[in-house]
Copies of this chain bind each other. A is one copy, B any other.
Amino acid sequence: MAKDNFVEQIADIEKDFPQWYTDVVIKTKLVDYGPVKGTMVIRPYGYAIWENIQKELDARFKATGHQNAYFPLLIPMNYFTKEAEHVEGFAPEVAVVTHAGGEELAEPLAIRPTSETIFGSMYSKWLQSYRDLPILINQWANVMRWEKTTRPFLRTSEFLWQEGHTAHAEESEAVEETMKMLGVYKEFAETCLAIPVICGKKTEKEKFAGAVATYGMEAMMKDGKSLQAGTTHFLGQNFAKAFDIKYLDKDGALKYAYTSSWGVSTRLIGALIMAHGDQRGLVLPPKVAPYQVVIVPIAAKKAGVLEICAKVKQLLESAGVRVILDETDNSPGWKFNEWEMKGVPLRIELGPRDIEAGNALIFRRDTLEKTEYKLENIVHEVQTLLKTVQSDMLEAARVRRDGKIVYANDMRGILQGVESGNFVKAGWCGCRGCEDKIKAETAATARVYAEDETSEKCAVCGKNAKHTVIFARAY
């Protein structure tokens, strides 16, 4: 019965992963399509996840010395031309304002696809002396990149993100910042999203337009594809020279600063869905779940049931647990399905018999296990279980992922590897031709350099390998 019901609602995850994804995001009311093609409405259930992500990340940014600010949405088009690689990378995706206040504008304005240029122009104005450095600013904002093919959370014309932009006196400090924020992202992804990520440097082809070096964190989705979940960029003096970000050093000389930038976006919600979801729908890690616990009354009309449920809710709320009591007229079975689809980590079932026996049944969404607990210890049990679920989800994802990383020595190996839904480690000579060939023949791209540089030969040309690269098909 229950099975049939799910099958009705969402596509089979094993048979049609893309359709499963679409069904899940729409039917759980995470998101809806906006009226303008390629835009999304992030509905309350989806936005609550984003708020939890923001809260966790924001605390980490502040703990590492960053402050928030807000820079304008509109950027003069000519700013993009000041950094040659940057304009090449972003100009094709830009949305342009040409009219405002009933008149045609003298110069067209770009809606920010990213804000290195406008941060750069202001830093140039603010920065005077070495005493003003480092500048460590982040903003939470919407950005726009016009995309041909769009999917909610993964690729939309508008999305929400944070972008950190920093300026430093020394090259080493900017590099350190770039690596530090990569570490912050990784710790956050593993601790809060329960997603094990692989971090590393990107190839020249895959790096950010205008960066000296880009570092990415890659997450494996359940179909074996990779999702770039965050990036940090060491920008060298590229933007400092383009925007004249200079300071008077102790030695009396005017010097260019070194800058970095780094960002994660509402894509992370897509990562959550595809890293943990299953046949029944979402499986959300407690740290970012809008509701950590749903209480479902059984035989709700029997005397005392709703009162006890409300009491349990209140106790859990007082302990800081995010909890919802489903008091609607729907049947318990309907509610089970609904809240399982919505991925709530724990479900407490409470009926007259449970209450009489002083017990509560708790269902774990991640393992689908149901266990009886003493009602009198319910707060402690829930708090313990939430921690267990959080760490078990990370561990399960790590086991899944580690079982799907393979090595390949040649093109055939790479193809077979990615066709079977793996990340493939392979040697690469470092030339663009071999990288392009892999993409053309396998639809896989270089995600990041692997930490273990063990390959001796390039899997394409057989020449000496410069790097061992993780190749995967990617979102």
Contacts and interface: CB of A to CB of B under 8 A. Distances in A.
A72 interface: yes
Contact of A41 (B39, B72, B109): B72
Interface stretch (A7-15, A73-81, A428-436): A73-81
B67 A44 contact: yes
Interface in A70-106: 70-76, 79, 91-102
Interface string A24-51: 0000000010111001111110111011
A263 B41 CA distance: 19
Given A41-B72, A44-B69, A69-B41, A96 B95 contact: no
A44 B68 contact: yes
A305 interface: no
A94 B47 CA distance: 27
Contact of A74 (B44, B75, B158): B158
A141 B101 CA distance: 20
Nearest to A106: B37
Given A35-B121, A41-B69, A73-B144, A111 B93 contact: no
Interface in A152-183: 157-158, 160
A36 B74 contact: yes
B48 A67 contact: yes
Nearest to A109: B36
A44 B101 contact: no
B102 A95 contact: no
Interface size class of A (residues with CB under 8 A): 35 or more
Contacts of A148: 101
Contacts of A32: 122, 125-126
Nearest to A44: B67
Contact of A70 (B41, B76, B96, B146): B41
Interface in A215-230: none
B98 A94 contact: no
Interface string A193-215: 00000000000000000000000
A34 B118 contact: yes
Given A32-B125, A142-B142, 18 more contacts: A32-B122, A34-B72, A34-B118, A35-B121, A36-B75, A41-B69, A41-B72, A41-B122, A42-B70, A47-B67, A47-B69, A47-B70, A51-B68, A74-B95, A74-B144, A94-B100, A95-B97, A97-B111
